[in-house]
A and B are shown apart, each in its own frame.
Chain A
Amino acid sequence: MAESWNWTRDSKLCFVTTGATAPFTALIESVLSPSSIQTLRKCGFTHLLVQYGSAKDVYDICSSAARLHIQDNKQDGEIIIDGMDFNSEGLQSQFKLVQKSKGLVISHAGSGSVLEALRYQIPLIVVPNIGLLDNHQEELAVAMERNQYLLRGDVQDLASAIRKSEGFRIKMSQFPPVTSGEHRETKSFAAIMDETMGFMD
Chain B
Amino acid sequence: MAPPLSSLYTLSFALAVLTTLFVAASLRLLTILPNQRSKSTPWRKRPVATRVLVVLGSGGHTHEMFYLLRDLDTRKYTHRTYVVSSGDAFSAQRAVEFERGLEEREKQWRAEEERNDETANGKVKIEVTNEDGVTKSTQEETMRGERPACLGPDHYNIAIVPRARKIHQPLLTTPLSCLWTLYCSFTPLLRAPPFLPDQQPTTPYEAAAADLPDLIITNGPATAVIIILASLILRFLNWRGANSRSKCKTVYVESFARVKTLSLSGRLLLRIVDRFLVQWVELEGAGGRAEFWGVLV
Contact = CB atoms under 8 A, between A and B. Distances in A.
Nearest to B76: A199
A77 interface: no
Interface string A54-65: 000000000000
Nearest to A136: B257
Given A143-B280, A189-B68, A192-B275, A197 B249 contact: yes
Nearest to B260: A139
Interface stretch (A23-31, A44-52, A95-103, A180-188): A180-188
B296 A198 contact: no
A67 B296 CA distance: 43
Interface in B251-297: 251, 253, 255-261, 274-275, 277, 280-282, 292-297
Contacts of A176: 67, 295-297
B280 A180 contact: no
Interface string B47-65: 0001010000001100110
B225 interface: no
Contacts of B67: 115, 176
Contact of B257 (A140, A188, A198, A199): A140
A186 B274 CA distance: 19
Given A136-B259, A139-B260, A196-B274, A180 B295 contact: yes
A194 interface: yes
B293 A192 contact: yes
Contact of A111 (B64, B214, B293): B64
B42 interface: yes
Contact of B45 (A137, A182, A200): A200
Nearest to B281: A181
Nearest to A187: B293
Contact of A199 (B46, B59, B260, B296): B46
Contacts of A185: 293
